[in-house]
Amino acid sequence: MRETVDILISGGGVAGLAAAAAFGSAGWSVLCVDPAPPVTEAQAPGADLRTTAFLQPSVPVLEAAGLWSRLAPHAMPLQVMRIVDAGGPEPVARVVHDFDAGDVSARPFGWNLPNWLLRREFLARLDDLPDVRFRPGVATTRLITREAEALVSLSDGSLVSARLLIAADGRNSPMRQALGIGVQTLRYGQKALAFAVTHQAPHDNVSTEVHRAGGPFTLVPLPDHEGQPCSAVVWMDTGAEIARLQALPVAAFEAAMNERSAGLFGPLRLASALTVWPIIAQIADRFSGERTALMAEAAHVVPPIGAQGLNMSIADLGALLDLARDETLGTPAMLDAYHRRRWPEVKLRLHGVDLLNRASMLQAQPLRDARAAALNTLYTLGPVRRGLMQLGIGMR
Which of 91-95, 114-118, 214-218, 255-259 comes out lowest in average pLDDT?
91-95
Least confident of 119-133, 251-265, 357-371: 357-371
Instruction: Report the pLDDT averaged over residues 49-57.
Output: 85
- For residue 74, what is the DSSP state? G
- Dump pLDDT digits (tens) for 67-80: 999 999 999 888 88
Which residues make up the CATH 3.50.50.60 domain(s) of the chain?
2-39+115-185+282-357
CATH 3.30.9.10 residue ranges in the chain?
72-112+187-278+358-393
Q: What are phi and psi of 282, to 5 degrees?
A: -155, 145
| Average pLDDT, integer, range 7-24 | 97
- Burial state string for 58-97 with b = 16 or more CB within 10 A and e = fewer than 16: bbebbebbbbbebbeebbbebbbbbbbbbbeeebebbbbe
CB 82 within 8 A of CB 209: yes
Whose CA is closest to 30, among 273, 321, 250?
321
Side-chain half-sphere CA neighbours of 317 within 13 A: 31
- SS3 call for 379: helix
Q: What is the pTM of this model?
A: 0.90
Q: Band the pLDDT of 379: cuts 50, 70, 90.
A: low
Superfamily of domain 2-39+115-185+282-357: FAD/NAD(P)-binding domain (3.50.50.60)
Q: Residue 129: its pLDDT value, please?
A: 97
Strand pairing report for 217-225 and 2-10:
unpaired
Read off the pLDDT band of 391 (50, 70, 90): low
**Is 72-112+187-278+358-393 in CATH node 3.30.9.10?**
yes
E-assigned strand segments in 285-361:
288-289, 292-294, 300-301
Predicted local distance difference test score (pLDDT) of residue 390? 64
Is the per-residue pLDDT at 277 higher than 80? yes
How far is CA 14 from each of CA 193, 209, 335, 360, rounded to the nearest angstrom? 19, 24, 22, 27
